[in-house]
A = this chain, B = another copy of it.
Amino acid sequence: MKKVAIGIDIGGTNTVFGVVDQEGHVMVRDKIDTPQKPKDEGAPAPEIGEYVNALSTTIEKLINSVKLLNSDVEILGIGIGAPNGNYYSGTIEYAPNLPFKGIIPLIDLLRKNFPELRALALTNDANAAAIGEMIYGGAKGMKDFVMYTLGTGVGSGIVVNGDLVYGHDGFAGECGHTMLVPDGRLCGCGTKGHLEAYCSAPGMKRTAFEILVRDNATQSLLAKYSFNDLNSKIIFEAAEKGDAVAKEVFAKTGEWLGQGLADTVHHLSPQAIFLFGGPTAAGDLIFKPAIDSMEAHLLPIFKNKIKVLPSQLPEGDAAVIGASALVWKEVDA
């Protein structure tokens, strides 16, 4: 009998579903809209009950589809990655990018509709990615590693002794909010100077404008974009064409990231740190300065020991695959 797990990634815009086999292949996919905050202040917020019904309907559709593909299949469970997802309680708590208020008991609500499944588990997306890396990716066989996800924000997932570190309350692994530059840039969380304000994709854009301003670099390929239009992909393409400003953005981003990675090494001494997300597609442009900077900041006992590696999860399906990996970890299948 073929065993499979359902992975669900709840993002601010879309909720993406996949049925994943034990080798990490996505057999069937689906997608629904994530409910949005009402545009009018006074309008009622979306109902969680309706969203749970929509999730359940899609899950049932997926189960039927995969059984059509292979009648001898066992659905082991559902793993969900969501912002502020709490593994211990199965709740989503005060997620700033979701329209639901307070603490949402998502796993309890779903379990009522799927009592037959062996495992229902929830965590945040970066933790899910770390488990995905361990079950299907480059961290197979590793007991101690850390995953950094660079995107709209900077997330992280920490694995110690083969288990994800959830902390006392289920929320550990927020390395994007460690201090990088005291009294520096405003971070999305409201505090100043956090790593996320420098090493996320929007952080790279801010760095680009900082350099444009400093050098009055009117000749740069980046000078023709508005603050709202420039993004990390455009910066990458400009760097590949040799644009000096764009290349410096990657150099600075890597340097900052390396400082943060060194702090993580000094806490945890992992075997490897995996980098995931859009900006890491730039390869050496970001890996080289990150590794150089990390090494420069490390105590001698850690130098030339800690690998910094690109994630082996497939970019498009990574979130769903990571979420599904929660199930394999639960049932230890």
> Which A residues are within 8 Å of any B CB, using their own CB?
84, 93-94, 143-144, 158, 160-161, 163, 165-175, 177-182, 189-191, 259, 262-264, 266-271, 296-297, 299-302, 305
Given A172-B269, A268-B165, A269-B172; A179-B263 close (CB under 8 Å): yes
> Are B301 and A259 in touch, CB under 8 angstroms?
no
Chain B residue at smallest Cβ distance from A169: B269
Chain A, interface SS category? loop
- Bound complex: CA A296 to CA B264 (Å): 21
> Are A269 and B167 in touch, CB under 8 angstroms?
yes
A175 / chain B contacts, CB cutoff of 8 Å: 266-267
A301 / chain B contacts, CB cutoff of 8 Å: 84, 93-94, 169, 171
A268 / chain B contacts, CB cutoff of 8 Å: 158, 165, 167, 172, 267
> Are A300 and B168 in touch, CB under 8 angstroms?
no
> Are B267 and A264 in touch, CB under 8 angstroms?
yes
A177 / chain B contacts, CB cutoff of 8 Å: 266, 299
Give the residue among A84, A158, A174, A190 with the most B Cβ atoms within 10 A.
A174
- Bound complex: CA A268 to CA B160 (Å): 11
Which of B93, B166, B173, B189 is the one whose CB lies under 8 Å from A267? B173
A259 / chain B contacts, CB cutoff of 8 Å: 179, 182
A123 to chain B, nearest CB (A): 13
A84 / chain B contacts, CB cutoff of 8 Å: 301
